[in-house]
Amino acid sequence: MSTEPVLKITGLRAGYGQTPILQGIELDIRSGEIVSLIGRNGVGKTTILRCLMGQLPASAGSVQFKGRDITRLAPDARARLGIGYVPQGREVFPRLTVEENLYVGRLIGGPQGRKHADLVYRYFPRLQERRRQAAGTMSGGEQQQLAIGRALIGNPSLILLDEPSEGVQPSIVQMICETLRAIRDELGSTVLFVEQNLDTIMALGERAYVIEKGRVVRHIGAGEISDSEVVRRSLLI
Ligand X SMILES: Nc1ncnc2c1ncn2[C@@H]1O[C@H](COP(=O)(O)OP(=O)(O)OP(=O)(O)O)[C@@H](O)[C@H]1O
Under rule CB under 5 A, residue 165 binds Mg ion = no
Contact status: 234 vs ligand X (CB under 6 A) = no
The binder of 47, among ligand X, Mg ion, none, by C-beta within 5 to 8 A per type, is: ligand X
The option from ligand X, Mg ion, none interacting with 44 (CB < 5 to 8 A, set by class) reads: ligand X
Q: How far is CA 72 from CA 14, 51, 224, in A?
A: 13, 10, 35
Residue 17, classified by CB atoms within 10 Å of its CB into exposed (0-12), middle (13-18) or buried (19+), is exposed
Q: Is 190 in the site for Mg ion (CB under 5 A)?
A: no
- Which one, 43 or 153, has the nearer CB to ligand X? 43
Touching Mg ion, residues 71-100 (CB under 5 A): 88
Residue, CB closest to Mg ion: 46
Is 46 an interacting residue with respect to Mg ion (CB under 5 A)?
A: yes
Query: Does residue 47 interact with Mg ion by CB under 5 A?
Result: no
Q: What is the DSSP letter of 151?
A: H
Per-residue interface string for the shown chain with ligand X, residues 70-109, x marking contact by CB under 6 A: ------------------x---------------------
Told to check if 177 binds ligand X by CB under 6 A, we report no
Q: Distance between CA atoms of 131 and 141, rounded to whole angstroms?
A: 15
Burial class (CB in 10 A: 0-12, 13-18, 19+), 57: exposed
CB of 196 to Mg ion, least distance (A): 9
**What burial letters (b/e) apply to 204-223, b meaning 16+ CB within 10 Å?**
bbbbbbbbeebbbebebeee
What's the burial of 43, exposed, middle or buried (CB within 10 Å: 0-12/13-18/19+)?
A: buried
- Which parts of this chain interact with ligand X (CB under 6 A)? 16, 21, 41-47, 88
